[in-house]
Amino acid sequence: MAERPEDLNLPNAVITRIIKEALPDGVNISKEARSAISRAASVFVLYATSCANNFAMKGKRKTLNAGDVLSAMEEMEFQRFVAPLKESLEVYRREQKGKKEARKDKDKKADSEEQDKSREEDNDDDDERMEEEEQNEEEEVDN
């Protein structure tokens, strides 16, 4: 696990980016405020993970899944986040499915190209053999 409490904090770059996206342009935030938000976000993530882990343990599982996190949000009384999280999860799953299908299509195309190349090589070999046979026949006729 973590050796120090600071090891559990979220990366400062990520926190800074989230803060900048949430604030209007031209608004600055002090280093102390950024640090406080970082600690608060880290505590929230740890608490949510702990609650989700409880749901996984009740289900006699060691792996947390999306349902565990959504149930944890409801238990933590963050119901207003459940709908947006479900929408984000659906978008993520559609993207992953699209990537998986694209990868399958790419693999099928590569396999098809390999088969075509192999057929071409076989045809080239056959052509060479036929030419050799024709030459041999011509030589036999000449003799």
pLDDT at 55: 95
What pLDDT does residue 50 have? Answer: 94
Q: Of the candidates 88, 59, 56, 60, which has an alpha carbon nearest to the alpha carbon of residue 72? A: 56
pLDDT of residue 12: 85
> How high is the pLDDT of residue 138?
66
- Of residues 48, 90, 42, 43, the one with CA closest to residue 73: 48
CA gyration radius, the chain = 31
Tokens 């800074």 sit on residue: 16
Residue 1 predicted with pLDDT over 70: no
List, for residues 86-109, the tens digit of each pLDDT value: 999 999 999 999 988 888 888 877
pLDDT at residue 135 greater than cutoff 80: no
Check residue 63 and report its DSSP letter. S
pLDDT above 90 for 83:
yes
Tell me, what CATH number does 34's domain have? 1.10.20.10
Domain co-membership, 71 together with 97: no
Q: How confident is the model at residue 142 (pLDDT cuts 50, 70, 90)?
A: low
pLDDT tens for 13-31 read 888 899 999 999 889 899 9
Angle between helices 66-75 and 31-58 (to 10 degrees): 110
Flag whether pLDDT at 71 surpasses 80: yes
Average pLDDT over residues 37-48: 91
Domain containing 102 equals 92-142
Q: Look at the chain and report how many structural domains it folds into.
A: 2
10 and 50 belong to one structural domain: yes
**Whether residue 125 has pLDDT greater than 80:** no
Tell how many helices (H) and how many strands (E) occur in the chain.
4, 0
CB contact burial 81-113 (16+ within 10 A = b; e otherwise) = eeeeeeeeeeeeeeeeeeeeeeeeeeeeeeeee
**Tokens coding 92:** 């993520």
Cα(55)–Cα(87) distance, integer angstroms? 21
- For residues 19 and 71, membership in a common domain is answered with yes
Structure token digits, residue 108: 């099928």
Residue 88 three-state SS: helix
Structure confidence at residue 74 as a pLDDT band (50, 70, 90): very high
